Amino acid sequence: MSLTEQIRHKARALGFTSVGFAPADPLKGAEFYARWVALGYAGQMHYLKHHLDKRADPRRMVPGAQTAICLGMDYYQPTPAAPDPLRGQIACYARGFDYHDIVKKRLAALWEFVLAAAGAHAKGRYFVDTAPILERELAQRAGLGWWGKNTCLIDKRRGSYFFLAEIITDLELDYDEPAPDHCGTCTRCLDACPTDAFPEPYVLDARRCISYLNIELKGPIPRDLRQGMGQWIFGCDICQEVCPWNRKAEPALEPAYNSRAGLDSPSLLDLIQLDRAAFNALFRRNPVKRPKRRGFLRNVAVALGNSGMQAAVPALIGALDDEEPLVRGHVAWALGQLGGDEAKEALKRRLEIEEDAEVRREVKDALAAL
């Protein structure tokens, strides 16, 4: 086998379900990306504005780079059908263990193999979602899929439920053919988004994306977008669920991505009562820790407000005393959505003692809604 095929074979043995090779040349998408950032579509993800020169040219990450070894690892897990209103939804990639840890270990093993096969003189670096690399364009060049209208990379053989990773190296390997676009005239993903996060096909306004709102946004969720979030408390799979190419998605073989106990349609009433220790224990080595407890309980409060269930009112009243203003404010909004005399009286009591200005505004607006 050629070195390229040896690497491909080893990558598959390590659990990577897609492997492709692309030239590490400057990327045409860098101009599009810079314009996307300039339009403000990155929201508060200020780190995306940095290192535009490195994003434009992989050789700035690895001097003398010749090849990008692009890799995909499937993570799909079936979503429980029709969860009841008092249960939350977590994107399927986040129901198991944190993919960063899993993929990085496999990448390290693959790079060790490359060094052994090619000689220690080879230079390279490997990355999992944390470096300034336009990984979707590299992966498209390497034949792993095309940039879909929902901005996910889509493989017509397995859909879009896969993580991306790459090794950039100075080794000159055999390149694969780029993947062509197969979205055609379909607009199901664009039509299904409840918060209208796509100003046009192939462009995402992250500021309106549910996944951005419940993960990356650190402060209050804009009120006009809260109802559109439904029961999603971490991430969102809507634009992938409706994609016809994901009909072929098979459950991931990697056991670390299997849904952990308590993360398939978890009880919102239980989650809103999590203290710091319980939150850390439930989400140990899990992506949900990213927005921290305050951000996550903010999301849970919004989902409870969207539930339409009076059964949620007692738990929300208890959360009105949470130590985090961010949580209290969204709990107040939720009580305003659900209504009832019990909710109204609790909001009045909170207003008498609340000192945080933003929370007071939320409480007053909730009372006005009632």
302: domain CATH number is 1.25.10.10
Q: Average pLDDT in the 86-103 region?
A: 96
Half-sphere exposure of residue 52: CA atoms within 13 angstroms, side-chain side = 13
Torsions phi, psi of 116, nearest 5?
Answer: -70, -35
Residues 251 and 149 reside in one and the same domain = yes
Residues 226 and 299 reside in one and the same domain = no
Residues 79 and 140 reside in one and the same domain = yes
Q: Which of 266, 297, 315 is the last residue of a domain?
A: 266
Give the domain extent around 132: 1-266
Mean pLDDT, the chain, rounded, equals 96
Residues 223 and 330 reside in one and the same domain = no
> How would you class 237 by CB atoms within 10 Å of its CB: exposed for 0-12, middle for 13-18, buried for 19 or more?
buried
- Taking the mean position of all CA atoms in its chain, how far away is CA 213? 10
This prediction has a pTM of 0.96
Residues 225 and 319 reside in one and the same domain = no
- Report whether pLDDT(130) > 90: no
Residues 282 and 351 reside in one and the same domain = yes
- Report whether pLDDT(93) > 80: yes
CA dihedral 35, 37, 41, 43 (to 10 degrees): -170
Question: How many whole angstroms separate alpha carbon 370 and alpha carbon 360?
Answer: 15
H/E element, 116? helix 99-118
Cβ contact 7:114 at 8 Å: yes
Residues 243 and 257 reside in one and the same domain = yes
Residues 44 and 132 reside in one and the same domain = yes
Residue type, 301: A
CA dihedral 157, 159, 165, 167 (to 10 degrees): 20
- Report whether pLDDT(82) > 70: no
Least confident of 36-45, 73-82, 343-352: 73-82
Q: Which of 266, 292, 315 is the last residue of a domain?
A: 266
Residues 305 and 336 reside in one and the same domain = yes
Handedness of CA 43, 244, 181, 4 (dihedral sign): positive
Tokens for 362?
């939320």
Residues 69 and 171 reside in one and the same domain = yes
Residues 292 and 250 reside in one and the same domain = no
Residues 231 and 322 reside in one and the same domain = no
Please give the tally of structural domains in the chain. 2
H/E element, 368? helix 357-369
H/E element, 165? strand 162-169
- Please identify every residue annotated as catalytic: 129
Percentage of the chain beyond pLDDT 70 is 99
Q: Which of 245, 266, 287 is the last residue of a domain?
A: 266
Torsions phi, psi of 81, nearest 5?
Answer: -75, 140
